[in-house]
A = this chain, B = another copy of it.
């Protein structure tokens, strides 16, 4: 990533002007933890979304896909603890009812409400609790409420994921805020997890869609925990224009897009770092590829390989698994041109193992962030992917998570 003209500020989704939010325990999660979030813009915002490519789509995804068509949104109602997936026509009615109830208490249009659910697949939503919760939240929303919303969308996550940045673009200062959740069921190239992004820039919906798609390609689509894609993933971007309109050309547009990408990559890395059971963030750079798609395929495949992930958990400099994963990524390349670095140590030169110092590499592998650099020597394209190590705790979390 290039240097970006932005300032990271405190806060998250309610940092941009004109956004309010709240989060609470409504009674979906048995644990008593927060499970319902409401995000609200004081005016209808232009909006764009990216949804899971899974054929099996949860009810709220279907409702939000329908509602986003007009390119406008004013509220997001999101819950954790129940995915409302594989719930049939009744589940679809529940998701619609969530949108209707939110529209009603906030006095906004029903098709300006986006719905998102995450949690266990199968069970119905406890609608009485949810509807009570929506009423309560509509009274609680505030410009400090972003942090509670960030909390209320978590499932197996161990911590909140939020960020806010300010960017100067075309003489105006815009704020972009974001929250995300995601820890397991994280696969690349399918839109992943939840991320809700707000900005006070005024940007038409068709532009928002293009910005979001491009930024998602370089962030959430390059993040992999377990190569499982959820039925409920979505990324929403709302731009309410409260800080004025963005100039849609030149350096103003470029700076805004870079700031948006910064926010998404930050959240993507946070998700990888907080991958289920993870102890390390893995960053894989594939450079010198003959195409961007080959670079992405290699970076993602290496970051997602169970064997690479296990080796990194074991702090073992297993370059062979890196080479093998690159080789089965589907990308074409000549293995004899490949150089691989783990941290700053070259472990493969011209496709062959180097006589590297195990100690140097192990020292790097003991850290919290492991960098793998794969130089393909085929061209000038590059891509970066993020993942995490595969640990006993990943298995434990997913073996013990009962339906």
Instruction: Enumerate chain A interface residues (CB-CB to B < 8 A).
Output: 53-57, 83, 85-88, 120-123, 184-185, 187, 190, 226-231, 305-307, 310-311, 313-314, 316-321, 323-329, 331-333, 335-336, 348, 350-353, 390-392, 394-403
Shortest distance from the beta carbon of A220 to any chain B beta carbon, whole Å: 15
Q: Does the CB pair A403–B316 fall under 8 Å?
A: yes
Q: Does the CB pair B120–A320 fall under 8 Å?
A: yes
Q: Does the CB pair A55–B331 fall under 8 Å?
A: yes
Q: Does the CB pair A56–B395 fall under 8 Å?
A: no
Shortest distance from the beta carbon of A82 to any chain B beta carbon, whole Å: 11
Given the complex of chains A and B, what is the CA–CA distance between A316 and B83 in angstroms?
18
Q: Does the CB pair A394–B310 fall under 8 Å?
A: yes
Given the complex of chains A and B, what is the CA–CA distance between A350 and B329 in angstroms?
35
Residues of B within 8 A of A185 (CB): 307, 324
Q: Does the CB pair B326–A55 fall under 8 Å?
A: yes
Q: Does the CB pair A56–B335 fall under 8 Å?
A: yes
Q: Does the CB pair A319–B121 fall under 8 Å?
A: yes
Q: Does the CB pair A228–B348 fall under 8 Å?
A: no
Residues of B within 8 A of A324 (CB): 54, 56, 85, 121, 185, 228-231
New A-B pairs, 15, CB < 8 Å, besides A121-B320, A228-B325, A229-B327: A55-B326, A56-B326, A57-B327, A85-B323, A88-B351, A121-B324, A227-B306, A228-B305, A231-B327, A306-B394, A310-B398, A311-B403, A314-B400, A319-B403, A390-B398
Closest to A90 in B: B352
- The answer to whether residues A54 and B328 also contact, given A88-B336, A307-B228, A353-B87 and a CB cut-off of 8 A, is yes
Closest to A304 in B: B227
**Residue in A123, A351, A398 whose Cβ sees the most chain B Cβ within 10 Å:** A398
Given the complex of chains A and B, what is the CA–CA distance between A351 and B185 in angstroms?
20
Q: Does the CB pair A226–B306 fall under 8 Å?
A: yes
Sort A-B residue pairs by CB-CB distance and give the 4 closest, nearest first: A121-B320, A314-B399, A56-B327, A310-B398
Q: Does the CB pair A327–B227 fall under 8 Å?
A: no
Residues of B within 8 A of A54 (CB): 324, 327-328
Shortest distance from the beta carbon of A364 to any chain B beta carbon, whole Å: 14
Q: Does the CB pair B395–A391 fall under 8 Å?
A: yes
Closest to A307 in B: B228
Q: Which of the residues B184, B228, B320 comes within 8 Å of A122, measured between beta carbons?
A: B320
Given the complex of chains A and B, what is the CA–CA distance between A184 and B319 in angstroms?
16
Given the complex of chains A and B, what is the CA–CA distance between A94 and B320 in angstroms?
18
Residues of B within 8 A of A305 (CB): 227-228
Given the complex of chains A and B, what is the CA–CA distance between A185 and B324 in angstroms?
9
Q: Does the CB pair B227–A398 fall under 8 Å?
A: no
Shortest distance from the beta carbon of A123 to any chain B beta carbon, whole Å: 7
Shortest distance from the beta carbon of A144 to any chain B beta carbon, whole Å: 35
Given the complex of chains A and B, what is the CA–CA distance between A123 and B354 in angstroms?
10
Residues of B within 8 A of A86 (CB): 319-320, 323, 335, 348, 351-353
Closest to A335 in B: B56
Given the complex of chains A and B, what is the CA–CA distance between A403 and B323 in angstroms?
13
Given the complex of chains A and B, what is the CA–CA distance between A231 and B229 in angstroms?
27
Closest to A277 in B: B395
Given the complex of chains A and B, what is the CA–CA distance between A83 and B319 in angstroms?
13
Q: Does the CB pair A399–B310 fall under 8 Å?
A: yes
